[in-house]
Amino acid sequence: MIVALIDSGLGLLPTAAWLRKLRPDVDLLLQLDPDGAPWGPKPEPWVIDRVVDAARTSLRRGAEVIVLPCNTASVTALEQVRAEVGPGVPVIGTVPAIKPAAAVCASVAVWATAATTASRYQADLIAKFGGEAKVIGVACHGLADAIDGGDLLAARKSIAAAAAETPDDVEGVVLGCTHYPLVIDDILAALPAGVRLFDSAQAVAAQTIRRMDALGRPRTGSGAVHVLNSGRPGELPRGAAAFESGRVLGAEL
């Protein structure tokens, strides 16, 4: 069983780590797009073409399940990818964990990219899943780019700026970009004690496994990890070393 994960950059690592932890036998195909990143500011048709083309590559490489561990890819191209690959290939998208956060916190901040924070997509999610909680968006300017570049100093500056914009009464912070769990320790350090963090990587991995098991195919993987950078075979970008990607993919999350 080969599972392909498609993201503009290192945001696929947390979901990959949970897949490795829950099903270490599964072969992973990690598709990053350093040539096209970041996806958030790009026009929707461009993003759709990029993500659908990566899905086609996944199929050619033998993927039987496709995961979009990327909020931008999920909201922009999920339905197009499903139409492209057909009903026989499960495609799992990613949604920020607003619903579980709002269920247990009276006040919630959704940390996300500037584009996502300003989007109708996030506003609709807050309206649909925010319940009785007070939910606000906080833009983390440059944080995803700093993570992709392995620039921890820039990442910490972005985190500090986001923390300063987060109201003091916030009880929970939703990590609305899949890159952010890679700097979770720095985020926790920047927030008041007791603030809870919520992200969707574990839930997406669990849903992926459910869809895999529903296919009823034997477990024949070896736990291999293959990387494509904008369609070219390679390794994880240099920035990944700053987040101990080997440890992450070893599922010591």
How far apart, in Å, are the Cα atoms of 172 and each of 69, 70, 177, 199?
21, 21, 15, 11
The residue annotated as part of the active site, out of 177, 201, 209, 248, is 177
- Cβ atoms 17, 248 nearer than 8 A: yes
- Cβ atoms 5, 73 nearer than 8 A: no
Q: For residue 4, which phi and psi values (nearest 5 degrees)?
A: -100, 135
Bond from prior residue into 218 cis (ω within 30 degrees of 0):
no
Question: CB under 8 Å to 155, separation ≥6 — which residues?
Answer: 143, 146, 147, 183, 186
In a 3-state reduction of DSSP, which class is residue 164? helix
- Cβ atoms 104, 172 nearer than 8 A: yes
The residue annotated as part of the active site, out of 3, 19, 70, 109, is 70
Q: Distance between CA 54 and CA 245 in Å, rounded?
A: 22
Q: Distance between CA 163 and CA 180 in Å, rounded?
A: 13
Q: Is 70 a catalytic residue?
A: yes
Pick from 49, 15, 50, 48: nearest CA to 29: 15
Pick from 19, 92, 30: nearest CA to 57: 30
- Cβ atoms 227, 236 nearer than 8 A: yes
Active site residues: 70, 177
